[in-house]
Chains A and B, each alone.
Chain A
Amino acid sequence: MNDDIRKIFSGKRKVGSKHVHSFGRRAILIFLPLAIFLLLGAHPVRGETLTADDILNKVDDLYRGTSSYGMMTMEVVTAHWKRTLSLEFWSKGKDKSLIRILSPLKEKGTATLRAGNEIWNYLPKVNRVIKLPSSMMSASWMGSHFTNDDLVKESRFADDYNCRITFQGPRKGENVIELSCIPRPDAPVVWGKVEIVVRQSDYLPIVINYYDEGLRPARSMTFSKFAKMSGRTLPAVLTLVPVDKPREKTVVVYDKITFDLSLNNEVFSIRNLQK
């Protein structure tokens, strides 16, 4: 919506300069009041007109579009080892995703396919596909601090939580909005509360804190290195830290990402998983 308004307002149309200008001037006359209204609406001074749910949806769809493709680097640091993986990923809609390891060489070709609630892993070394049983849902995904369950749940945030804005204002020199999300009564999540802190300016998340049922902090996801990628401004770096092991972390860096490309459903088939 913002793009359209900006386009209209700046009058950038490839129709011919004269045409453009006359159109642009008329546009200004006709749409100015509307524009001002919308502008005010679109960039609210206080942030109240953008509801908690709206913000939530923005965060939810952060790295998604109708589809996406990209490359990322994941670094996992634990008390005993440190690893860096180079990954390629595709996603379509809210419930299909495919992630493939590009490096290190030993694990190149290992891939995870998620469709709905099911997860399959492809292991190139033995050339087999395994479907993950329910008992492994809480196990770590690819050795990181994310669990297989996180992969399945990441698209359902809005379905599972009720959110409210609980704070707005400056924090550490930046204006932020804090959302407190409580799981819905029947939502199958173990968290007691999830706090999402976004930048007031562009609603991009800064940090997401997960609390257990006793409202003790369990883990924390921080977003940083905001950059423009494929037309959107996104935090390129995601850091997940477990509270009980503060020296461990999983860092995901988006190297490249493209949105809304056309992706065949074939991409998310088991056959493609094995490539």
Chain B
Amino acid sequence: MIFRVAWRSIWRNRRRTLITAASIALGLIIAIFFIAMAEGVYEQIVNDGVRMQAGHITLENPDYQMAPAIDLRIGDVENIRKYIKKIEAVEEAKLLIWGQGVANSGAGAVGVSIMGVEPAVEIKNSPLARDIVAGSYLAEDDDRKVVLGEHLAKELKIGLGNKIVITTNNARGELVEELCRVKGIFRTGSDEIDGYFIQIPLNFARKVFGLQADEATQLGVILKRPQDQPMVMEEIKSALANKNIEVLPWQQILPEVASYIRIDRVSNWVFQGLLFVIILFTILNTLLMSVMEREREFAVLLALGTPVRKLKGQLFLESVFIGCLGCFAGLTLGGLAAFVLQIRGLDLAFLMPEGVTISGFAMSTTVHALVTPPVFLWTGGIVLGAMLLLSLLIMRRIKKIGLAETLR
């Protein structure tokens, strides 16, 4: 009974109800949309980063993280890889041999980071393989071939087919010099990547650095769903308990990316929060005014003998209804907008003419949102909760209605 009264009552002043509900909805739409967009951007950055480098989970020598050196490697990698690939949540397991060295050309010498990779795996996964602008990426049976960034090619004044001599120290500390030829040139848009990284086939890297056939510096695990990271890490850790191998999450391998995401997320939340406060004021205002306006109505009801409790209950329900209306509209429309952005993406090229890099990773100018169910729950929850709290506060005014005065 009380439900029906409450429901009808809110529609009696349609404008006020709609304005209040609309404010709530608007706040939610904005919150959901922007949060989804931000999450989409983060996911893309992480995705690109882990696929280009060492996966969502990285297996490496325990001492490697502290002081990366080519002699700190892991062995028996083929068996480990076979085991890992059997885990359902795993999409791919890639091997990396990573070392520092100098790339020499006739025109000069530049310090570089040398990545020994498996061409077949990289082509499927790495954004770097997709960003080839000249020549082609490495192929499975390539030997003395290298792909490098456009910036580096310019610095060394070389092009496709030209020679590079890689100078480095191998796993035994000996100086080695090996020739290779430029097969492809990539442009990721990040000066750091384009000017510093070179990729060579894994087997050639073994030769250069003096590693055995079953050794690598890192094994990267790429997951189908990033959320499975903790579970898969546990599984791998327990399987490798007796081996001298460290299992690390990408957050430790790419700490800058993790930091950037953390900071950005926090600032996003703070702003959403502030926006929410503004909306709350509006709602508070609306509620206050409605109570004031309807003093006469309440006085009549009270005079007719309605228990104060029931009146309060009715008002509370009214707030619940309005809140739910607003939430429903907001969550649905916001969710819809975010979903559309997720599918179609938005090209922000007009904002970022030369492309943007975040801590060395080039962001693509098209952003996709990422809609995550929990977002709906807690934004809707907070809004509804606040709404109800406010109405509780306001209801205290009801007691203060002096019947006689009001009915005058």
Residue of A190, A212, A214 with most chain B CB atoms under a 10 A cut-off = A190
Assign chain A's interface to a size class: 20 to 34
B174 touches A188 (CB 8 A): no
A188 touches B105 (CB 8 A): no
Interface of B is mostly: strand
**What does the 1/0 interface line of B89-128 toward A look like (CB < 8 Å)?**
0000000000001101111110100000000000000000
A135 touches B102 (CB 8 A): yes
The answer to the question of B236 belonging to the interface, with a C-beta cut-off of 8 Å to chain A, is no
B144 touches A186 (CB 8 A): yes
**What residues of chain B lie closer than 8 Å to A118, measured between beta carbons?**
174-175
**Contacts A133-B169, A188-B178, A190-B163 hold; do A138 and B104 have CB atoms under 8 A apart?**
yes
203-247 of chain A: CB within 8 A of chain B: 212-214, 218
**What residues of chain A lie closer than 8 Å to B162, measured between beta carbons?**
213
The answer to the question of A65 belonging to the interface, with a C-beta cut-off of 8 Å to chain B, is no
The answer to the question of B165 belonging to the interface, with a C-beta cut-off of 8 Å to chain A, is yes
**What residues of chain B lie closer than 8 Å to A218, measured between beta carbons?**
106
B109 touches A117 (CB 8 A): no
B179 touches A212 (CB 8 A): no
Bound: A138/B103 CA distance, A: 10
B102 touches A134 (CB 8 A): yes
Q: Count A-B pairs with CB separation below 8 Å.
A: 66
**What residues of chain B lie closer than 8 Å to A186, measured between beta carbons?**
144, 179
The answer to the question of A62 belonging to the interface, with a C-beta cut-off of 8 Å to chain B, is no
Bound: A218/B106 CA distance, A: 8
Bound: A212/B107 CA distance, A: 8
Residue of A nearest to B102 (CB): A135
**What does the 1/0 interface line of B360-389 toward A look like (CB < 8 Å)?**
000000000000000000000000000000
Bound: A188/B169 CA distance, A: 14
137-153 of chain B: CB within 8 A of chain A: 144
B106 touches A212 (CB 8 A): yes
**What residues of chain B lie closer than 8 Å to A31, measured between beta carbons?**
none
**What residues of chain B lie closer than 8 Å to A189, measured between beta carbons?**
163, 165, 179
A138 touches B109 (CB 8 A): yes
Distance (Å) between the CB of A214 and the closest chain B CB?
8
Bound: A170/B7 CA distance, A: 112
The answer to the question of A137 belonging to the interface, with a C-beta cut-off of 8 Å to chain B, is yes
B163 touches A138 (CB 8 A): no
Chain B interface residue count, CB cutoff 8 Å, equals 25
A191 touches B106 (CB 8 A): yes
Residue of B108, B109, B169 with most chain A CB atoms under a 10 A cut-off = B109
A134 touches B169 (CB 8 A): yes
B107 touches A135 (CB 8 A): no
**What residues of chain B lie closer than 8 Å to A214, measured between beta carbons?**
106
**What residues of chain A lie closer than 8 Å to B131, measured between beta carbons?**
none
Distance (Å) between the CB of A19 and the closest chain B CB?
57
Distance (Å) between the CB of B274 and the closest chain A CB?
51
**What residues of chain B lie closer than 8 Å to A137, measured between beta carbons?**
102, 104, 109, 167, 175, 177
Distance (Å) between the CB of B209 and the closest chain A CB?
12
B104 touches A134 (CB 8 A): no
164-215 of chain A: CB within 8 A of chain B: 183, 185-192, 212-214
**What does the 1/0 interface line of A15-54 toward B look like (CB < 8 Å)?**
0000000000000000000000000000000000000000
A213 touches B179 (CB 8 A): no
Interface of A is mostly: loop
Bound: A186/B164 CA distance, A: 11
Bound: A64/B168 CA distance, A: 28
Select which of B108, B111, B165, B176 is within 8 A of A117 by beta carbon: B176
**What residues of chain B lie closer than 8 Å to A212, measured between beta carbons?**
106-107
Residue of B nearest to A212 (CB): B106
B179 touches A188 (CB 8 A): yes
Select which of A133, A183, A187, A190 is within 8 A of B105 by beta carbon: A190
A134 touches B101 (CB 8 A): yes
A213 touches B106 (CB 8 A): yes
A134 touches B163 (CB 8 A): no
Select which of A117, A135, A190 is within 8 A of B174 by beta carbon: A117
Distance (Å) between the CB of B107 and the closest chain A CB?
7
330-379 of chain B: CB within 8 A of chain A: none
**Contacts A188-B165, A213-B162, A213-B163 hold; do A134 and B106 have CB atoms under 8 A apart?**
no
Bound: A123/B163 CA distance, A: 35
Bound: A239/B10 CA distance, A: 99
A190 touches B175 (CB 8 A): no
B165 touches A134 (CB 8 A): no
**What residues of chain A lie closer than 8 Å to B158, measured between beta carbons?**
213
Distance (Å) between the CB of B152 and the closest chain A CB?
15
Residue of A152, A183, A189, A191 with most chain B CB atoms under a 10 A cut-off = A189
Distance (Å) between the CB of A90 and the closest chain B CB?
21
207-251 of chain B: CB within 8 A of chain A: none
Bound: A134/B175 CA distance, A: 6
**Contacts A117-B175, A135-B111, A213-B162 hold; do A190 and B104 have CB atoms under 8 A apart?**
yes
Select which of B107, B144, B168, B179 is within 8 A of A134 by beta carbon: B168
A135 touches B167 (CB 8 A): yes
Residue of B104, B168, B174 with most chain A CB atoms under a 10 A cut-off = B104
Bound: A189/B179 CA distance, A: 7
> Which A residues are closer than 8 A to B by beta carbons?
117-119, 133-135, 137-138, 149, 152, 183, 185-192, 212-214, 218
Q: What are the 8 closest A-B residue pairs judged by CB atoms, nearest first?
A: A212-B106, A188-B177, A138-B109, A117-B175, A188-B179, A188-B165, A134-B167, A190-B106
Task: List 19 A-B residue pairs with CB atoms under 8 Å apart, sorted by A's residue number.
Answer: A118-B175, A119-B175, A134-B175, A135-B167, A138-B102, A138-B104, A149-B104, A188-B179, A189-B163, A189-B165, A189-B179, A190-B104, A190-B106, A190-B163, A190-B164, A192-B163, A213-B158, A213-B163, A214-B106
Contacts A149-B104, A185-B179 aside, 17 further interface pairs with beta carbons under 8 A come to A117-B175, A117-B177, A118-B174, A133-B169, A134-B101, A134-B169, A135-B102, A137-B104, A137-B167, A137-B177, A186-B144, A188-B165, A188-B179, A189-B163, A189-B165, A190-B105, A214-B106
